[in-house]
Amino acid sequence: MKKSNKFNLFTLATLSCLAVAIAVTPANALPGQNINTVIKWAKTRAKLPKLTYSSEAHGYSGTKGNLYFYVDVTSEKGTVTKEGITVSEDSSVKFTTKNAKVVKLIQTIYNSNIANDFSQSRRITKIGRDHYYQGKKYAYILAEVEGGSAFQLINLRQLQAEIDNAKYCQTHQCDL
């Protein structure tokens, strides 16, 4: 009976710690996850807008103030392939690995792991207006766009395919 009580107490303590850890740890919605996870996560982020689906854009997006956030997916209920943030009409926000305001924004939206991975990433190449960066966990595509600055987060294993596609689109007509 004593061993059974100790086991039950140990199990209860372990489950309690796990429940607290899950409650305290913020959910991360990243490329490779299901879109439902991302939509639920976005609702917990005060900086992010409500996301709506567009079949033409193959994803979900929304605008809140000068921040535009979008998520590309394989289908309406599919897997996230890419996420992006565009900040317009704020000259202090230029997505670069050395801009402290940008790194803080990424940390606020995602977490410190993504912000650190981004800030320590290295530039691989530039094609057209896009700068391609490789982190240890993810890859990033940065660009200056009309009226703002853009950031894309993709799976690291997709980096070369994105570069190859951008090179192809320089000499061929592509849907953008």
pLDDT tens, 138-167? Answer: 999 999 999 899 999 999 999 999 999 999
More confident site: 171 or 17: 171
Confidence of residue 74 (pLDDT cuts 50, 70, 90): confident
pLDDT in the model for residue 81: 93
Rounded mean pLDDT of the chain? 86
Query: What is the distance between the terminal CA atoms of the chain, rounded to a whole angstrom?
Result: 68
The whole-angstrom separation of Cα 76 and Cα 172 is 29
More confident site: 5 or 38: 38
Amino acid code (one letter) for 138: Y
Domain boundaries defined on the chain: 28-171
Report the pLDDT averaged over residues 123-132: 96
Collect all residues with Cβ–Cβ distance below 8 Å to 148 and sequence separation of at least 6: 66, 86, 87, 88, 89, 90, 93
The whole-angstrom separation of Cα 151 and Cα 114 is 13
pLDDT in the model for residue 76: 78
Query: Residues of the chain with pLDDT > 90: what percent?
Result: 72
Flag whether pLDDT at 174 surpasses 90: no
Amino acid code (one letter) for 32: G
CB 124 within 8 A of CB 134: yes
Collect all residues with Cβ–Cβ distance below 8 Å to 2 and sequence separation of at least 6: none
